[in-house]
Amino acid sequence: MVRVGVVGGGRAGVEAGLEAASKGAKVTLFEGASRVPDWRNSWPDLLTSSPPPIRDTHSLLEAEGVEVLLGETVLSVDQGLVVSGSRVRRRFDAVVVATGSSPALSRFVGSGKTGVYVLDGPQAYVEAGRHVGSADWVVVQGEGILALRVADRLSSRGLGVTLLRRRPLAGLTEVDSMLVSAAAARRVSIVQGQVEAAAGQGRVQAVVSGGRVHACEALLVLPELSPRLPRVPVTLGRLRGIRVEEDQSSSSPGLYAAGSCSEPALRPPCPGISRTSSSPGRVAGANAAGGILSLRCSPSWSEELFGLAFSATGQSLEEAALAGLDASRVVVRRGSSALCCVVYERRSLRLLGIQSAGLGPGHSAALAVAVGQSAHLSALADLSSADSTDISLVAEAVRQGLGWSV
């Protein structure tokens, strides 16, 4: 029986452990916390007036035969040997590192005032959710999809929100523009900047950013994240995550990585974009158990924010350029309610990526497969015959890319 060690009990680690166990491997999962943590992407839901119950992932793992070792922070992984801080030493045939990322310390003038919440874990979200319900306006500081989720959940409670961020969603200019407009209609103002100071007598009453003062009754800060790794003899990527191939393997034989502690070698990472960890986790777990899977479906995300559906799969034009590809894109809009952006390679007309806003749910998974298989644009050009206005917008963009009459 193949012995597989999984380091980290977040979403990627859990998926890796379950997948390896389903392939017949004997799996041990190491988690440094006293319980298997709830997934980071679901933490903003704890801000709502009716937060969901925390899922019992521990019982699910044990029901599938996965041994779970809690309170075991792994210090090093080398040639299958896993060593934890409590001196537990286990040797495995393969190891999946899925240790996620760590928050950086957030410091600014007034950061210790009442009403300032640093969202560095699920309990911080719960506490903030309890105290902001009576507020009229709050300020949120953060980047990427997670910050947008926080603003969306606060807005759903009727709160006004100012979201301060340093940059738009990387590589998603058109989608980001529509997202800003949708947010404004829900009393959410998205502003470029970052917190310089929290002002007020004892408690926060305003936030200073870029010479502007934003009145508020609470400030929620999402700290910057960086990959959290044990000592591992592997090649690291540009963002200091473990560099992995399509099969989630690292430069060290028998060592795989998944989730936010990893970086795909063939596709430059996109800071601030929350890519799903489940597919890489499953691929890593399957291969650690002796499989030969590759992550063929392009990394993707889909989200409903401020009453509109947003999704992205594959590469943006900027990411394609970073990968050395001669790429172009076509953007098609339907008024102010929907758009589709198709990215493709000029010479081969190979599909590289699709981003959309305002389209209905259910199409993103199929488009991710098309992108992952490097489909030719012509394969999507006749999708309008499927009697779906959502898909027809994709087909219209593809047909423009082909130079067909629309």
Co-location of 321 and 369 in the same domain = yes
Co-location of 258 and 330 in the same domain = no
Last residue of a domain, one of 198, 221, 244: 221
Co-location of 120 and 209 in the same domain = yes
Co-location of 53 and 82 in the same domain = yes
CATH of the domain at 121: 3.50.50.60
- 58, 103, 168 from 119: Cα distances, Å: 23, 9, 20
Asked if the structure places residue 294 within a domain, the reply is no
Co-location of 231 and 89 in the same domain = yes
The pLDDT value given to residue 363: 62
Asked if the structure places residue 109 within a domain, the reply is no
The pLDDT value given to residue 267: 54
Asked if the structure places residue 68 within a domain, the reply is yes
Last residue of a domain, one of 221, 250, 265: 221
Asked if the structure places residue 255 within a domain, the reply is yes
Structural domain total, the chain = 3
What domain range is 393 assigned to?
300-402
The pLDDT value given to residue 107: 85
Which strands, in side-by-side order, build the sheet including 67-70?
67-70, 26-31, 3-7, 94-97, 255-257
Co-location of 153 and 208 in the same domain = yes
pTM for the predicted model, two decimal places? 0.84
How far is Cα 366 from Cα 180, in angstroms, rounded to an integer?
27
pLDDT digits (tens), the chain, 406 positions: 999 999 999 999 999 999 999 999 999 999 998 888 777 778 899 998 777 776 778 889 999 999 999 999 999 999 999 999 888 899 999 999 999 998 888 789 999 999 999 999 888 999 999 999 889 999 999 998 899 999 999 999 999 999 999 998 877 888 899 999 999 999 999 999 999 999 999 899 999 999 999 999 999 999 998 999 999 999 999 889 999 998 999 999 999 999 999 998 755 444 343 444 458 899 999 999 998 877 655 567 788 999 988 888 888 888 888 878 999 999 988 887 888 899 999 999 988 888 888 876 556 666 666 776 678 888 777 665 444 445 577 778 877 877 764 4
Planar angle of CA 368, 369, 372, nearest 5 degrees: 85
Asked if the structure places residue 295 within a domain, the reply is no
Asked if the structure places residue 363 within a domain, the reply is yes
The pLDDT value given to residue 191: 96
Co-location of 66 and 78 in the same domain = yes
Asked if the structure places residue 110 within a domain, the reply is no
Asked if the structure places residue 108 within a domain, the reply is no
How far is Cα 248 from Cα 255, in angstroms, rounded to an integer?
9
Co-location of 206 and 235 in the same domain = no
CATH of the domain at 319: 3.30.390.30
Residue the block writes with tokens 């560099």: 243
Q: What is the 3-state secondary structure (H, E, C) of 63-127?
A: HCCCEEEECCCEEEEECCEEEECCCCEEECCEEEECCCEEECCCCCECCCCECEEECCCHHHHHH
Last residue of a domain, one of 179, 205, 221: 221
The pLDDT value given to residue 374: 73
Co-location of 185 and 241 in the same domain = no
* Cβ-contact 278, 117 below 8 angstroms: no
Q: How many CB atoms lie within 10 A of CB 87?
A: 7
SS3 for 374? coil
Co-location of 27 and 75 in the same domain = yes
Co-location of 216 and 229 in the same domain = no
Co-location of 153 and 240 in the same domain = no
Planar angle of CA 284, 310, 140, nearest 5 degrees: 90
